[in-house]
Chains A and B, each alone.
Chain A
Amino acid sequence: MEDHYNSKLVIKLNEIILIQIYKIMVLIRKFEEKIIELYSEQEMRCPVHLCIGHEAIPAGVCENLNKGDVVFSNHRSHGHYIAKGGDIKRMLAEIYGKVTGCSKGRGGSMHLIDLSANFLASTPIVGGTIPLAAGAALASKMQNKSNVSVAFFGDAAVEEGTLHETLNFASLHKLPVLFVCENNLYSTQTHINERQPAREIVKVAEGHGIKAFRGDGNNAIEVYETAKNAIEHIKSGNGPVFLEFLTYRFREHCGPNEDVSLGYRTKEEILEWTKKDPIKKLGNKLLDDKIATNEELEKIEHDTGIQIEQAVSFAKESQFPKKDSMDKNVYSE
């Protein structure tokens, strides 16, 4: 694999973009660390699937998107929502079940939406939104629009029929859709080797006639560059692209805790991946290349912290939905 940290491309990369990606990654991390801090209060009464360790992928991919581009996501969606520009106050309020939540308290962490950012939805049925992203792309084609549609999903979605069916259809119709597979090796507690044969995931997409690339999902610059090329390919009318990014989930499948005690993965494996922490990696790069100073990075953390505290206040102070709203919106008028 090409080392993007040493490639000449990096030098040309706009420093502002790198700082922006870093800010988004810190925002995702700090947002979820706040969930970890407050979850035991038992006020966030819904499942949470934290993406700590994955941040480079949503941040790196979405930095390439325009506002008009649309994103669909899965159960591990906080990062995608934030990176596409979703309102964190309304996301946190949603996790708290408040009427000010992005889904008015009907969705919880697993059903996020921010139409103003064109984050069209996340849902937790594995593979469930992949065809929706292709459908949004088909609509764009029918309406002569130029936007792309992005589907984020995990490695387990490769085991679902919807993925294969959608790849077949998207390839057939050359749809403007980007498939982004975050391979973190585990589906809940089951390793990919227990679930899939020893074949590369990108070969599945290639088998459907789709261009596919594999990259280091903990290397934000590599994610950014790979997605940039993919989106240019799609926007030139060449049809879909499939990207697989290798990454690792630092926390348990669902919930705020570490889970080494469960024994399904080793302490050594976790440590090995912790060394590859995507935020530290990009932070060091920014310092080494003198793109940012320590003080500047600390300021990013500080400002992010304030932003998150404001979201916490907003979420906690917001009202719950009223009883008489329960039967509203079963049907659309």
Chain B
Amino acid sequence: MTKLREITYAEAIAEAISQSMEKDPSVFIIGEGVPDPKAIFGTTKGLVEKYGSDRVLDMPVSENALTGVCIGTALRGMRPIMVHQRLDFVLLAMDQIVNNSAKWHYMFGGQTSVPFVVRAVIGMGWGQGAQHSQNIQAIFTHIPGLKVVMPATPYDAKGLLISSIQDNNPVIFIEHRWLHHIRGHVPTEMYNVPIGKAEIIKDGKDITIASTSYMTIEALNATKVLEEAGVSAEIIDIRTLKPLDDSMIIDSVKKTGRLLAVDSGYYTGGFAGEIIARISEKAFEYLKVPPQRITLPDIPSPSTPALTKYYYPRHIDIIQKVCQMTGKPTSQITHLIELERKKEPQHLDVPNKEFTGPF
């Protein structure tokens, strides 16, 4: 058997864009730094060489108007992809995203559509602090008319981005900076991962962990330890936050009786709260223990590693919470947690020991 091809999440994104541009001449990409040598963490690498500067555009630092420009092109038959190196910068474009793109189709009676992808990078660590790593994905889920996707794997990154580009609606495509280097199997051909479908990425019977984006990787790391401790956790990677596929979470909770929602966003008004609310409304009678969530605290991100080590939840936090919820005495897994701590980098502000910054 031939070995399946593996590429990084960043390469999977670049491939999805390139193949979409090759297939459909109405697709173009624009953003600060898109054609530059750094190529948005490698996610736009090779595009300008292949498709030229008429379809691979750098842009003035005018996020709001350029979002409007993209909407204007979409109304005239184009399929723009706009890239923001930090989701924090998207806040400057909220007027055009929320007031125009999200409700254009509805408020004009369904006569026109805005096929438009906004790629935004969230992150954590390396001192990026309060204005360069905000995980405020939940804001977009509050807006009728937007779709919000957050793939966690290279396979889903490619398939969901292709689906987002082909979708006739504005799609907020959110990438966690700590996913870009992750390798995984990605087919060479074009394929779709449907928007609006979650996925069970690990079967289990004791607890349902519903997680988003990079926190799915932390959840996977946690379950490896939990398996050793005899706790079987099922992981549902949400993949699409809006429209949310809650049926898969409901079915899982019916089986496990426990729900832990894990999101990289903030505590109050965050997406973990939305997952818990849905399950409490629709499957309350199946819950053996109160549903729980792991999120960031309601505190802006500090920059110093001296504080971020207490700030970002990691897989050990998930392990401890799951033990608490399943009645596993923490004392029984103390040694496993000690082993995990030894594997971690000295500072918890990088994705792995090899990373030397900056982002």
- B173 contacts the other chain (Cβ, under 8 Å)? no
Whether B96 lies near A131 (C-beta < 8 A) is yes
Partner of B72, one of A111, A131, A332: A131
Does B76 lie at the interface of the complex (its beta carbon under 8 Å from any beta carbon of A)? yes
Chain A nearest CB from B32 CB (Å) reads: 13
Stretch at the interface among A8-16, A134-142, A237-245: A134-142
Specify which chain A residues have a CB less than 8 angstroms from the CB of B112 in the assembled complex.
Answer: 113, 115, 120-121
| CB-defined contacts of B28 to chain A, threshold 8 Å | 142
B68: A residues at CB distance < 8 A: 128-132, 134-135, 162, 166
Residues in A whose Cβ lies below 8 Å from that of B54? 142
Known: A162-B64, A166-B65. A135 touches B106 (CB 8 A): no
Task: Report the bound CA distance from A129 to B60 in whole Å.
Answer: 18
Chain B CB within 10 A, most for which of A104, A131, A132: A132
Q: Is the C-beta of A333 less than 8 angstroms from some C-beta in chain B?
A: yes
A residues 228-280 touching B (CB-CB < 8 Å): none
- Given A143-B77, A169-B60, answer yes or no on A330-B106 (Cβ-Cβ < 8 Å): yes
Per the bound structure, the CA–CA distance linking A10 and B169 in Å amounts to: 49
Instruction: Tell me whether B280 is interfacial, beta carbon within 8 Å.
Output: no
Contact of B73 among A101, A115, A135 (CB under 8 A): A135
Question: Are A113 and B111 interface neighbours, CB within 8 A?
Answer: yes
A303: Cβ under 8 A from any B Cβ: no
Q: Does A283 contact B (CB under 8 A)?
A: no
CA of A329 to CA of B144 in the docked complex: distance in angstroms? 11
* A65 to B243 Cα, complex, angstroms: 42
Main secondary structure of the interface of A (DSSP, over half): mixed
Contacts of B104 in A (CB 8 A): 121
Q: Is B78 in contact with A123, judged by CB distance below 8 angstroms?
A: no
**Contact indicator A169/B72 (Cβ below 8 Å):** no
* Chain B residue contacts of A72, Cβ below 8 A: 72
Binary flags per residue of B94-121, CB closer than 8 Å to A gives 1, else 0: 0110011000111111111111000000
Interface: A125 (CB within 8 A):
yes
State the Cβ distance, B228 to closest chain A Cβ, in Å: 44
Q: Do A136 and B111 touch (CB < 8 A)?
A: no
Residue interface mask B75-104, A partner, CB < 8 A = 1: 111100000000000000001100110001
- With contacts A120-B75, A131-B96, A132-B75 taken as known, whether A107 is within 8 angstroms of B66 at the C-beta atoms is no
Encode contact with B along A2-21: 1 for CB under 8 Å, 0 otherwise. Answer: 00000000000000000000
Q: Complex formed: what's the CA distance from A166 to B145 in Å?
A: 25
A106 contacts B66, C-beta separation under 8 Å: no
Q: Which A residues lie within 8 Å of B77 (CB)? A: 139, 143
Contact A139 B73 (CB under 8 A): yes
- Asked if A169 contacts B65 (CB within 8 A), the reply is yes
* Contacts of A63-121 to chain B: CB distance below 8 A: 70, 72, 101-107, 111, 113, 115, 120-121
A111 to B103, CA, bound (A): 11
The complex places the Cα of A104 from the Cα of B109 at a distance, in Å, of 5
B100 to chain A, nearest CB (A): 6
Instruction: Let me know if A121 and B108 touch, CB within 8 A.
Output: yes
Residues of chain A lying within 8 A (CB to CB) of residue B65: 130-131, 134, 161-162, 165-166, 169
Specify which chain A residues have a CB less than 8 angstroms from the CB of B134 in the assembled complex: none
State A105–B111 Cα separation when bound (angstroms). 12
Counting chain B residues whose Cβ lies within 8 A of the other chain, the interface size class is 35 or more
Contact B99 A138 (CB under 8 A): no
Residue of A nearest to B30 (CB): A138
**Given A128-B95, A138-B73, A329:B62 Cβ within 8 A:** no
Q: Are B72 and A331 in contact (CB under 8 A)?
A: no
For B69, give its contact among A113, A128, A134, A330 (CB under 8 Å): A134
Any A CB within 8 A of the CB of B233: no
Binary per-residue interface labels of chain B (52-75) against chain A in the complex, 1 for a CB within 8 Å, 0 otherwise: 001100011010111111111111
Partner of A136 from B60, B66, B76, B115 at Cβ < 8 Å: B76
Is A169 in contact with B71, judged by CB distance below 8 angstroms? no
A328 and B100 in contact (CB under 8 A), knowing A132-B68, A135-B68?
no
Quick one: closest A residue to B67, CB to CB? A131
User: A187: CB under 8 A from chain B?
Assistant: no
A-chain residues with CB within 8 Å of residue B144 when the two chains form the complex: 330
B contact residues around A115 at 8 Å (CB): 111-112
Asked whether A38 is an interface residue with its Cβ less than 8 Å from the other chain, the reply is no
- The reply to whether A132 and B72 form a contact with Cβ atoms under 8 Å apart is yes
The CA of A121 and the CA of B74, in the complex, are separated in Å by 13
Asked if B169 and A331 sit within 8 Å, CB to CB, the answer is: yes
* In the assembled complex, B326 has its CB within 8 A of some CB on chain A: no
Interface residues of A in 146-177 (CB under 8 A from B): 149, 161-162, 165-166, 168-169, 172
Residues from chain B with a CB closer than 8 A to the CB of A140 are 76
Does A133 touch B at the CB level, under 8 Å? Answer: yes
CA separation between A101 and B62, bound complex, in Å?
Answer: 35
Tell me which residues across on chain B come within 8 A of A111, comparing CB atoms.
Answer: 107-108
From the candidates A104, A142, A165, name the one contacting B66 in the complex (CB within 8 A). Answer: A165
In B7-60, the 8 Å CB interface with A consists of: 28, 54-55, 59-60
Contact indicator A132/B71 (Cβ below 8 Å):
yes
Report the separation of the CA atoms of residues A139 and B25 in the bound assembly, to the nearest whole angstrom: 12
Q: Which residues of A contact B59 (CB under 8 A)?
A: 169
A169 to B57, CA, bound (A): 12
Pair B107/A169 contact, Cβ less than 8 Å: no
Task: Specify the chain A residue showing the minimal Cβ separation from B62.
Answer: A165
Most chain A beta carbons < 10 A, residue from B65, B74, B99, B114: B65
Residues of A within 8 A of B (CB): 70, 72, 101-107, 111, 113, 115, 120-121, 123, 125, 128-140, 142-143, 149, 161-162, 165-166, 168-169, 172, 328-333
- List chain B positions with a Cβ less than 8 A from chain A: 28, 54-55, 59-60, 62, 64-78, 95-96, 99-100, 104-115, 144-145, 147, 168-169, 243
18 A-B Cβ contacts within 8 A? A106-B106, A106-B107, A111-B107, A111-B108, A113-B109, A125-B100, A133-B72, A134-B69, A135-B68, A135-B73, A135-B76, A136-B75, A138-B69, A142-B54, A142-B78, A143-B76, A162-B68, A169-B60
Besides A166-B68, A168-B60, 16 more A-B contacts (Cβ < 8 Å) are A72-B72, A102-B109, A104-B109, A111-B108, A113-B108, A125-B100, A131-B66, A132-B71, A136-B72, A137-B72, A139-B72, A162-B68, A166-B65, A328-B110, A331-B105, A332-B113
